[in-house]
Amino acid sequence: MGKVTLKQLAEQLGLSVATISRALHDSYEINVETKKKIKQLAQELNYQPNPFASSLRQHKSKTIALIIPDISNHFFSLVIKGVERIASDKNYHILIYNTHESYLKEQSITKHLISGRVDGVLISPSLETSNLEHLQEIMNRNIPLILFDRVFDDLETIKIVSNDYESSYQATEHLIHSGCKKIVFLLIAQNLSITSKRLLGYKDALVKNGLGVDENLVIALTNNDEHNFKMVHQLMVDQKPDAIFASVEHLAIMSYDVCKSLGIAIPHDVKVLGYSNLNVARHLNPALTTISQSAQEMGELAANLIIQQIEGKELDIITSHLEIKSHLIIRASTL
């Protein structure tokens, strides 16, 4: 019952640990017969190599860190699923961390990682993150790092994003074509790459379609739901917009709440549309038009790339943005 080690196998078979180690690694220099014997005994005793010993020796851990701003957000949970699928395929382990959108938390997590605990890092930075030293520090230690969804141009590494500008442009045009003239844009965390790209897509679509940009209709919200509710409530009363474009899921849901409380009918009085991966969007009242990101695919790509990088494949895409297409799914809320 005590743990089985190479040494024990060696003793039982009258061989050296080196031979055992080589055999289990399928080294070509080991006699086929001996190899067979060794493998069989290992199997019988249910030998599992001590990962710490081999990590210590080899300076690699077959482990990647996945750092996420909000684990229970459906988008991110799909990313996790994608990452896990690939990692598991390639015999990598995943350490998962939640920053709760806090820069301090993110910092303390990354600090632990420079110990070499992981071979690579996948991160979508917190809302609060603007100083990038902690990420640069990881890269300085030659630990591959990939940014996904939320990225920073300043960091010279692989970045995986959605086609946020285009999807936002397309969604805005959809609203315009549906006859909307006064479209509110709800956003959170102005500094975020995804936010600014989505905002730009929105503005460009307005201009291109002959509707000017009214800055009163661009509303920056916070992490405080109550405050957000009040803001949007006020906005609906003051501005009477004919559409709401929510740049993140929970703002779309909140818009439903606001409309309900004001007796405003969706889509009759105001159309609503939002970025969201909710698979029950079609069952909302009314069914919500969404821009759905390929979250799992993003996770899979991220995992594949980080593993390639770890295993030394030179990637000439180091500084490039990789884009994954999102999809506009039109439903009753904008009809």
Partner DNA sequence: ATGAAAGCGCTAACAC
Partner DNA sequence: GTGTTAGCGCTTTCAT
Return residues touching DNA (CB under 7 A): 3, 5-7, 14-19, 21-22, 24-25, 27, 29-31, 34-35, 49-50, 53-54, 56-59
Whether the link from the prior residue into 286 is cis, omega within 30° of 0, is: yes
Q: Could you give the CA distance from residue 126 to residue 148 in angstroms, rounded to a whole number? A: 12
* Residue 17 site contact among a second copy, DNA, none (CB < 5 to 8 Å, cut-off depends on kind): DNA
- The residue count for binding a second copy (CB under 8 A) is 51
Contact window for a second copy (CB under 8 A) among 74-82, 164-172, 188-196, 222-230: 74-82
Give 19 or 195: the residue with its C-beta nearer to DNA.
19
Strands 327-329 and 289-292: antiparallel
Closest distance of CB 268 from a second copy, Å: 15
Q: Could you give the CA distance from residue 147 to residue 321 in angstroms, rounded to a whole number? A: 10
Closest distance of CB 29 from DNA, Å: 4
State yes or no: residue 256 binds a second copy (CB under 8 A): yes
State yes or no: residue 286 binds a second copy (CB under 8 A): yes
* Residue 5 site contact among a second copy, DNA, none (CB < 5 to 8 Å, cut-off depends on kind): DNA
Closest distance of CB 312 from DNA, Å: 14
The three-class DSSP label of residue 19 is helix
Q: Could you give the CA distance from residue 304 to residue 319 in angstroms, rounded to a whole number? A: 17
Q: Could you give the CA distance from residue 313 to residue 115 in angstroms, rounded to a whole number? A: 23
Note whether 143 and 114 are within 8 A (CB): yes
Q: Tokens at residue 221, please?
A: 């919200």
Q: Could you give the CA distance from residue 69 to residue 233 in angstroms, rounded to a whole number? A: 27
Note whether 185 and 217 are within 8 A (CB): yes
Q: Tokens at residue 156, please?
A: 């010279």
Contact window for a second copy (CB under 8 A) among 6-14, 17-25, 29-37, 47-55: 47-55
State yes or no: residue 280 binds a second copy (CB under 8 A): yes
Residues that bind a second copy (CB under 8 A): 1, 3, 46, 48-53, 55-56, 61, 63, 66, 71-72, 74, 77-78, 80-81, 84-85, 88, 93-98, 105, 111-112, 114-117, 137, 140-141, 253, 256, 278-280, 283-287, 296
